[in-house]
Each structure stands twice: as structure tokens, then as C-alpha cells.
Amino acid sequence: MDQELVVRARVELLGANRRVVRGVEGLRIYRLLAQVESEVYGSKLAYVLVEASASSVVRELPGRRLALLDEAVAVASALGAANPFRTRVLAKAFAARRELLEGWQAEEM
């Protein structure tokens, strides 16, 4: 892992002055930092992935939405059982994924 990229991501995170950085910027930052400290940044990554799956950018791209939600489920599942955010973000990711799949099934009928 390139330590300069990690430091730059942490500086951007601090400079954002928000509890959770959202959007493309948040995805980039949390994907990078979750590789280094998954227990610290994994829950935020999963949360931002679920949000991104509902954005107007991918609303009409169900395959991309599903990929984002699958990544969110994988990230949240990988968090340790002791992580206080694991259950909540995992439930949110599963619910969003289930809703998307149910929407596909309803369209097929």
C-alpha cells in the first residue's frame, strides 16, 4: 500500500470536516483506508456504498447498483463481530440488496 496515498486520504478526510464523506470522494477515501484499517473504515465504506447504490448516477444501471450492494455486504460481513456498527450496516446493505432484487422480480412479472 502506498503510504503517501493513505496519508493523503486521511488528510482529505480530516479536511472534509464531516462525520461521513459521501459520494465518489467518500468511496475513494474509504475504499483506500478500509484496506489499511478495515475495522475503523469498513462500516463507513459499507454505508457509503449503500448510499451510492441509490444515487441518480446509477439509478438506471441495476447491474452497477447490485455490484455496489454486493461490495457493501462483503465489506460489512468482513467486520469483526465486536464492531459496534457491523450489524447495522450489514442489515442496511442486505435490505437495499433485497429491495433491488425484488424490484427486478416485479418487473419480470
Domain ranges, residue 81 = 3-108
Q: What is the pLDDT of residues 33-53, one digit of tens each?
A: 999 999 999 999 999 999 999
Question: What's 24's DSSP letter?
Answer: H
In the predicted structure, residue 70 carries a pLDDT above the cut 60:
yes
What confidence score (pLDDT) does residue 108 get? 66
Residue 82 dihedral angles phi and psi, to the nearest 5°: -80, -10
The whole-model pTM stands at 0.90
* pLDDT tens, residue by residue, 71-90: 999 999 999 999 999 999 99
User: Of 66, 6, 62, nearest to 32 (Cα)?
Assistant: 6
Helix spans in the chain (H) = 3-16, 23-36, 38-53, 62-78, 86-108
- What total number of domains does the chain contain? 1
pLDDT value at residue 109:
57
In angstroms, the Cα distances linking 23 to 17, 78, 88 are 15, 22, 20
Total Cβ atoms within 10 A of residue 26: 22
Averaged pLDDT of the chain: 92
